[in-house]
């Protein structure tokens, strides 16, 4: 059937915890986006810092072909290891933020 992340799933709660610790200023909104139909999960920062527009994906996960793809991680956190600690097998985690030719050298799935 594949992997399903609901808003109550452990990693969704972890993503919520990550976002709660965001250090953005008052003009930057922290957004959590859980698209459970298309399997996209993001922590975003949206707003303004002085005259600069802020629109960035801090952490982005997708579920594709039964695997969790880490597409973006702009933190010093390690979402892939958090997934492993939650019981997700390493081969079911793909570091999409790494070039395909480098994935074979990681401790995670290749695709």
pTM recorded for the entire structure? 0.86
pLDDT at residue 9, as a whole number: 65
Number of domains in the chain: 1
Q: What share of the chain is helix, strand, coil (3-state, %, to 5)?
A: 25, 35, 40
pLDDT at residue 22, as a whole number: 81
Domain extent at residue 98: 10-103
pLDDT at residue 48, as a whole number: 94
Give buried/exposed letters for 22-54 (b at 16+ CB in 10 A, else e). Answer: eebeeebebebebeeeebbbbbbbebeeeeeee
Q: What is the mean pLDDT of each successive set of 10 residues along the chain, which is 111 residues long?
A: 54 84 85 91 94 96 93 96 94 96 96 85
pLDDT at residue 1, as a whole number: 43
CATH number at residue 87: 3.30.310.110
Domain-embedded: residue 4: no
Looking at 1-111, list the stretches that DSSP marks H as alpha helix, in order from N- to C-terminal side: 10-20, 79-85, 100-103
């Amino acid at each position: 059937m594949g992997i399903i992340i609901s808003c109550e799933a452990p990693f969704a709660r972890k993503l919520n915890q990550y976002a709660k610790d965001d250090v953005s200023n008052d003009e930057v909104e922290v957004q959590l986006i859980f698209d459970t139909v298309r399997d996209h999960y993001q922590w975003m920062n949206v707003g303004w810092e002085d005259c600069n527009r802020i629109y960035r994906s801090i952490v982005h996960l997708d579920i594709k072909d039964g695997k969790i793809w880490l597409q973006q991680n702009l933190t010093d956190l390690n979402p892939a290891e958090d997934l492993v600690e939650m019981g997700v097998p390493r081969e079911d985690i793909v570091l999409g933020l790494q070039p395909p030719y480098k994935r074979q050298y990681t401790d995670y799935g290749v695709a």
